Amino acid sequence: MQSTKSSFTALTLGALGVVYGDIGTSVLYALKEVFNSGHVSLTTQHVYGVLSLVVWTVTVIVSLKYVTLVLRADNRGEGGLVAMLALAAHAVEGHPRLRRYLMAIGIFGTCLFYGDGVITPAISVLSAVEGLAVISPNLSSAILPLTLGILFVLFAVQKRGTAGIGRWFGPIMLLWFLSLAALGIWHIVQLPQILWALSPHYALAFIAEEPGTAFLLLGAVVLCVTGAEALYADLGHFGKRPIRQAWFSVAMPALLINYLGQGALLLQQPDAVSNPFFAMAPRAMLLPLVVLATAATVIASQALITGAFSVTKQVIQLGYLPRLQVLHTSETDTGQIYLPLVNWGLCAGIALAVIFFQSSGDLAAAYGIAVTLDMLITTVLTFFVVRWGWKYPLLPTAAATLFFLVVDVSFFASNLIKLPDGGWFPLAIGAGMFVLMRTWHTGRQLVQSAMQPHALSLAEFLQMLRRDSVTRVAGTAVFLSSQSGTVPSALLHNLKHNKVLHARNVFVTVRHHELAHIPPAHRATAHDLGHDCWQVLLHFGFMDDPHVPNALSMLTQRGELPSTSIMETSYFLSRDIIVPQRGHGMALWREKLFAQMYRNAGSAADFLHLPHRNVVELGSQIVI
């Protein structure tokens, strides 16, 4: 019992460090942007109205929608938009047209994650370092280079993994949240009537009396819930209970207390509006607070970078991106991965955002539109999971969905006003990623279509080879093929050039499914084709590591495949060259883009964990 409690406490502390880093650092800039937006004056009525909006935005979107409802939609223990998309797609399996629409919407939402991933570290770290200007205006010139330096170091250490420093994330973020609460309590004690802002009637009165102003402010108010998607994305790492416990016992109370404290400060010292968070601290504590805030924003950025690696791997295995180099940074935790291209691509994008926008205030103009659109997409997908997947009654499901849609659409519509001022930036990144993903997915379908007319039945082909008495040589040949039951092109090329067939031949098709994990017992099946030939199907979820040798070894242990040594086994892969042609499939520029992506895709041998010395690649040209 004691061990279970200890484990739960450790998971809760870990969730506090990883899951709530982003939303935990929103206090640095949320209220500052609301009152510096130029839409609202700093009056008592406005402060109470804005604080009530913030309190109930956090309550409805984070506590009610994500923590209470969305966390229930786990895909075999995994969460995140990709997991939700897979659940929704499975729920509407019998309606192919609707399924296509949902897949397109869900993939676009995943693409927006990359836009959010560029803005979040930039605004978080920049807003923390801007605390130096509160200490001394003379330090303002150091803000930009210091921010860029911190971010570069953060990305440079990614290849070493986070196992060493990850254990400090929880304690540092616990200290951060305790500091938020302490600062808030200090100012609430000086103006206790600020607690009346907890009542929703102040928010409703503000909306009723000044609907236009309230609508404009929603674009800045939403900054208080940025990072809400992270608590669902990290479901697989920590589980529902620790995430909920960390939110309700630490993160939510600390955040709300700090926002109320900032409101109390603004009513007493209106000149603190330029940076109310750092103005809360006594002057002697400013430098330690800047250091702690910077550490918290680095942790928030780290969680997002790790999330980008995980999401990219999931999307690759769902067939929407080409294989990329994936390096494992931990021998014990297969979830700790490093993707060099994603890492440095994010680094370049974030550096560009910092240099282009220059301040957290200008970045706030770009922030929110991708987040609110993702929230809207999550609501839509959740409806299909709850109604079609869980078979809940239509009326309550539709009513709950409509409520959240009204909230999400209101925030999204308000953020659309930011489009000319920088909102286009994350949308442009998301749109670019969407073009890449759709091009890759459609291109792969065109390749399959181009190969289909030339596909030969494997059983008939092997029968023909037996009649022709093809020479067989010692050893085992493993042929990787995208289509089960057809002759791999690598086999045809091997026969054409080498004129031999191996003593044992295993034809392997790897299939990736819209499930987070496939249990080991159902991961591999083998069918004996006779004359020492086998057809093998390997099944992997989008969170599984596709390790072909291990899966084949499992079949050997079950007696479904013969035992062979590594030195006697050769893996044959098809490495084809794509030739774009006008008038087929996609627009010519997209076919050329696909051909370039195909050419530069990572090694299939690396992706499938094949031993390099045993791999033989043979290929041909495919016209699409």
Residue ranges per structural domain of the chain: 2-442, 456-623
* Residue 95 half-sphere exposure toward CB, CA atoms < 13 A: 12
What is the 8-class DSSP label of residue 184?
H
Q: What are phi and psi of 571, to 5 degrees?
A: -105, 120
- CA distances (Å), origin 395, targets 90, 388, 401: 22, 13, 10
What's the whole-model pTM score? Answer: 0.85
pLDDT given for residue 166 in this prediction: 67
3-class SS shares of the chain: helix, strand, coil, % to 5: 70, 10, 20
Taking Cα atoms as reference points, which of 102, 106, 22 lies closest to residue 430? Answer: 106
Q: What one-letter code names the amino acid at 265?
A: L
pLDDT given for residue 1 in this prediction: 45
Return the SS3 of 328: strand
pLDDT given for residue 161 in this prediction: 73
Q: What are phi and psi of 488, to 5 degrees?
A: -65, 140
Task: Please work out, in degrees rounded to the nearest 5, the angle formed at the alpha carbon of residue 167 by the alpha carbons of 165 and 171.
Answer: 110
Q: Enter the tokens of residue 408.
A: 């999400």
Alpha-carbon span 241 to 243, nearest angstrom: 5
Q: Enter the tokens of residue 158.
A: 């990614």
Taking Cα atoms as reference points, which of 533, 530, 521, 587 lies closest to residue 558? Answer: 521
Strand residues in 272-388 grouped as ranges (E): 327-328, 337-338
Alpha-carbon span 576 to 540, nearest angstrom: 24
Strand residues in 463-600 grouped as ranges (E): 472-480, 501-513, 524-528, 533-541, 569-574, 577-579
Classify residue 419 as exposed, middle or buried by CB count within 10 Å of its CB (0-12, 13-18, 19+). middle
Taking Cα atoms as reference points, which of 328, 411, 424 lies closest to residue 376? Answer: 411
Successive 10-residue mean pLDDT values, the chain, 624 residues: 65 86 90 86 92 96 93 82 89 90 92 88 91 86 92 89 72 95 96 95 94 92 87 80 92 97 95 92 91 92 85 88 82 72 93 90 85 92 93 93 95 90 89 94 88 81 82 91 86 84 92 86 90 92 88 92 87 85 83 90 88 85 78
571 DSSP β-pair partners: 478, 615
From the centroid of its chain, how far is CA 587? 29
Alpha-carbon span 190 to 152, nearest angstrom: 41
Q: CATH 1.10.10.370: does it fit domain 2-442?
A: no
Alpha-carbon span 523 to 539, nearest angstrom: 5
Return the SS3 of 275: coil
- CA distances (Å), origin 534, targets 491, 507, 512: 14, 6, 20
Q: What are phi and psi of 260, to 5 degrees?
A: -65, -40
